[in-house]
Amino acid sequence: MKITKVETIRSEDRKYCWIQIYTDAGYVGLGETYDRADPAEVVIHEFARGHLIGQNPEDIEKIWNRMYRSASFHGLMGAELRAMSGIDMALWDLLGKTLDRPLYRILGGETRSKVPVYFSGIYDETETNRTAFQDWSRRCVDEGWKACKTARFFGDFYPSYGKTDFADTTGYISATDVSEGTKRFEWVRDAVGDALEVGIDLHAAFDVPGAIRIAESVRHLNPYFIEEPIHPHNFTALKEVRESGGVPIAAGERIFSRWGFQQILELGAADVLNPDLAWTGGISEVKKIASYAEVHYIPVAPHNYGPLSCMALTHLMAVLPNTRHLEFTAYHYPTWNTYIDEPITVKEGMLDLCDRPGLGRELSAKMLALPRTTIEP
C-alpha cells in the first residue's frame, strides 16, 4: 500500500486544518490541527511532497522520524509540530480503517470502557456573582459533572488586561484581587462542597511571586490543580511555584514533543501533564509522553480543542493507564459537531468509546464541500 496524494481542507474561520491522506488501496486517513493553521498547512504540503507521497502509510514511526529530522533544524515547536501532529493522526486513522478496527484496539486495547471528562470553561457564560456561580455549580453537579476547570476566578485580573499600575507586561496581582478571586472559588465550595474537582486556569499570566500568592490563597479550598500559573518553559521556576504554593500544578499544552517534557518530569515541576495532541506530535507522541510520565507516577489530562482531536484522545485515554480527565469544552461542541458526520456527546461527565474503524468520525458533507489543496506526485 502506498500514499498517492494528500489534501488539506480549511474550516471557514481558518482555525482548523484537516488532512486527508489517500492510498492506492482506496483507504483515506483523516487528521486535524488547529489554531494559527495557515503556516501549519504550508508545512503539511512540504511534508507531503518530501515524506509522504509514495510511502507505505503503515510505517508510522518511520514517517514520524523522517519529519522530525527535517523539522528539528527549526526547534520542535510551532508550525512544524502542528503539521506533524495532524499527519500522525491521519496515519493512525488510516491504519485503523485498513484493519477495520477502532483505534483503541490497535493502540493496546481498553483499560477503561468510558473516558472521564472535565467541564472546561465551566463559568465562561455565567454572570460573576454568588447566586449565578452557585446555581450553575449545582446544576452541573446534578447533570453528572464531577470535575471542571475555570479561568473566571482570576481571569479578570490578568495583567495583560492592562488594569494594573505596571502596564500589561507585568506578572503582578494585588492582594485585593487575590482576595476577590479566592472569594469566587469559595462560592463554589459553599454551593457543592467537594462534589466538583475544580481546576484553575491562569493562562501563564503571572510571575513567580504572583502565582505563589494565588496558590497560597486557594490552598485551603483544595483545587484539583492550578494550570499554567507561569509560562512553563523555565521548569525550575515552575517547580518553585509548585513547592512554595503547595497546590498541584498542571502544565504541558505549551510544551511540545517528548523532549520538551523531559526536564519538567525529571525536575518534578508538575503534578499533571496536559499535552495537546494536535500540537505536540500526534497520537504517537502523546502515547510516548504518557509512558514517560507513568515512570514518574504522573498522570496526563490532555488539552483538547478540536472534534477529531477529541476522538483521537478518547481512544488513547481508553488505553493509557495513567490518565485523569480529558478536557471538554461543552459550549464549543454544538459548533464543532457540525464539522463531523456524527456528533460527540458527553453523558454524566463521561465519553463512550466508538467502535467505528479508525478515529470513528469523518468530516461532514458541509466541510467536505469546502475548497481543498491537493498534493500529488
What 3-state class would DSSP assign to 149?
strand
Note the CATH architecture for domain 105-352.
Alpha-Beta Barrel (3.20)
What confidence score (pLDDT) does residue 330 get?
Answer: 87
What confidence score (pLDDT) does residue 79 get?
Answer: 93
CA distances in angstroms from 153 to 101, 157, 182, 221, listed in the order given: 43, 9, 7, 13
pLDDT, tens digit, 9 for 90 and up, residues 96-134: 999 999 999 999 999 999 999 999 999 999 999 999 999
Statement: residue 76 has pLDDT above 90: no
**How many whole angstroms separate alpha carbon 22 and alpha carbon 20?**
6
Q: Do domains 3-101+363-375 and 105-352 have the same CATH topology?
A: no
Instruction: Supply the Cα-derived Rg of the chain in whole angstroms.
Output: 21
Q: Which of 196-200, 328-332, 350-354 has the lowest mean pLDDT?
A: 328-332
| Longest Cα separation, the chain | 64
The pTM of the full predicted model, rounded to 2 decimals, is 0.96
What confidence score (pLDDT) does residue 165 get?
Answer: 73
Which CATH fold topology does 3-101+363-375 show? Answer: Enolase-like; domain 1 (3.30.390)
Identify whether the C-beta of residue 261 lies closer than 8 Å to the C-beta of residue 300: no
**How many whole angstroms separate alpha carbon 33 and alpha carbon 309?**
8
Mean pLDDT across the chain = 96
**How many whole angstroms separate alpha carbon 110 and alpha carbon 129?**
42
Statement: residue 162 has pLDDT above 70: no
pLDDT, tens digit, 9 for 90 and up, residues 358-372: 999 999 999 999 999
What confidence score (pLDDT) does residue 163 get?
Answer: 72
What confidence score (pLDDT) does residue 368 get?
Answer: 98
Domain borders along the chain are 3-101+363-375, 105-352
Statement: residue 16 has pLDDT above 70: yes
Closest C-alpha to 137, from 208, 190, 87: 190
Q: State phi, psi for 266 to the nearest 5 degrees.
A: -70, -30
